[in-house]
Structure 1
Amino acid sequence: MANTATQERGRAAPQAASGESDKRRQILEGARQVFMASGFDGASMGEIAKAAGVSKGTLYVYFDSKEALFEALTIEAKEGLAENLFRLDEHDPDVRAVLTRLGISYLAMMARPEHVSIIRMVIGACEKFPRFGQAFYEAGPACGVGRLKAYIEGQISAGRLAADDTDLAAKHFLQLCQAGMLTRLLFNAGAAPDEAEISHRVAEAVRVFYAGYGPSAAG
């Protein structure tokens, strides 16, 4: 009997954890909808609870303030982006192909309307709450640059690239890819890029990157 009870408790624990995780995701999705529509200052915990389909009491069990909820939402959005995009095969000898795949995925994600809206939302809130901007930057841009930096260092060791400052080299590649595109989208000053524009941007980024960091550039 004792063993059966222990087994039942063991099964119940993961189920409870899964339920809590589902509820948290439900709340974050409701918060995302409200923050996107109203911005940080215009959103209320009551509206978020309604959009998430939970009571305010349940909402406060998971997040004790609107600030905590907003920070969790922005960090999760950026962490997922960095993890999904910056999976680089360091053993593939075709560095141009690896960088091309990264560049295309990176620009496609950066151009998504919901991603642009998240950036606008964080920019609007971080003057009042600087930690939001810092958390967003560390979870997304800094994480992505760090992963690309590590990849570049591996390719330098393999003799496929040459760079003295690998952190700057990683930033150079990403900036070469988007080169004003994000600014255009943030200010709603033009349409999102189509596949042809993305392919052209990335091909040029790889070409220019190799001019500066290809193995023949070592001096």
Structure 2
Amino acid sequence: MTTQTAVRKGRKFDQVLDGAREVFLRDGFEGASVDDIAKQAEVSKATLYSYFPDKRLLFMEVAKAQCQHQADEALTTLDMSRPPNIVLRQVGHKFLGFILSDIGQRIFRICVAESDRFPELGREFYQSGPMTMRSALVGYLEIAQSRGEVIIDDMDLAADQFAELCKADLWPKLIFGVRDTFPEQEIARIVDGACDTFMARYGA
């Protein structure tokens, strides 16, 4: 099979994606078979291959669709007219809500597990996941700066720093298997600290 760069859409496209999502999250990238995906999606292998002749392309489409869903949901709930101390907390909670979720963890681990054999998986996931959040946050910070609420020279760096502040304490424990769930009050503590630290540095 050869990798294609464009995905063909069609009547059963979403059906294939839904089935693939279930199988990838259950069996991992390597363990997921085309037969199982076709069975889960209730389509023929010929139909599946007509959309995705390469399993890597199918996985990335699943990951990107999930990231896009999270990004769209976050953007529709954000009020760009609100001040940073409110919007940054919303962004932080949305960001952690995804990366700490079961599907967020599984997508991340699959990308890491397959990075040596298929480095493009990690690169494409980075573009569809972390870069989506960064772009949305940069867009808001530019608006906030135009209102005189923040003073930032390097918007990309500031957005990256905020994301890292939100991961403090929680992310290392998650990826090293120390813990796999976190109560809301603990997440709120980290997000509040991230916002306070960020505004202490960049607040006007």
State the TM-score, normalized to the length of structure 1. Answer: 0.82
Higher helix share: 1
Alignment-derived partner of residue 82 in structure 1? 71
Residues in 2 aligned to 1:65 and 1:105: alpha-carbon distance in whole angstroms: 32
Give, as a single letter, the amino acid of the residue that structure 1 aligns with 2:32: A
Residues in 2 aligned to 1:143 and 1:201: alpha-carbon distance in whole angstroms: 22
Residues in 2 aligned to 1:95 and 1:36: alpha-carbon distance in whole angstroms: 35
Give the 3-state SS of the residue equivalent to 1:192 in structure 2. Answer: coil
Residues in 1 aligned to 2:171 and 2:117: alpha-carbon distance in whole angstroms: 23
Residues in 1 aligned to 2:19 and 2:194: alpha-carbon distance in whole angstroms: 38
Query: Which residue of the other structure, out of 138, 141, 153, is the alignment partner of 2:127?
Result: 138
Query: Which residue of the other structure, out of 75, 78, 91, is the alignment partner of 2:81?
Result: 91
Residues in 1 aligned to 2:71 and 2:116: alpha-carbon distance in whole angstroms: 24
Give the 3-state SS of the residue equivalent to 1:126 in structure 2. Answer: coil
Instruction: Work out whether 1:31 is the aligned partner of 2:53.
Output: no
In the TM superposition, residue 85 of structure 1 has moved relative to its aligned partner by: 2.0
List alignment gaps of at least 5 residues for structure 1: 1-17
Number of residue-to-residue matches in the alignment: 195
In the TM superposition, residue 201 of structure 1 has moved relative to its aligned partner by: 0.9
In the TM superposition, residue 156 of structure 1 has moved relative to its aligned partner by: 1.2
List alignment gaps of at least 5 residues for structure 2: 1-8
Alignment-derived partner of residue 196 in structure 2? 207
Residues in 2 aligned to 1:147 and 1:37: alpha-carbon distance in whole angstroms: 31
Residues in 1 aligned to 2:97 and 2:61: alpha-carbon distance in whole angstroms: 24
Alignment-derived partner of residue 124 in structure 1? 113
Alignment-derived partner of residue 198 in structure 1? 187
Which runs of 4 or more aligned residues in structure 1 lie more than 4 Å from their structure 2 counterparts after TM superposition?
none
Residues in 2 aligned to 1:180 and 1:83: alpha-carbon distance in whole angstroms: 27
Residues 74, 122 of structure 1: 8 Å contact kept: no
In the TM superposition, residue 37 of structure 1 has moved relative to its aligned partner by: 2.2
Residues 126, 133 of structure 1: 8 Å contact kept: yes
In the TM superposition, residue 89 of structure 1 has moved relative to its aligned partner by: 2.7
| Greater Cα radius of gyration, structure 1 or 2 | 1
Residues in 2 aligned to 1:137 and 1:37: alpha-carbon distance in whole angstroms: 22
RMSD: 1.7
In the TM superposition, residue 192 of structure 1 has moved relative to its aligned partner by: 1.6
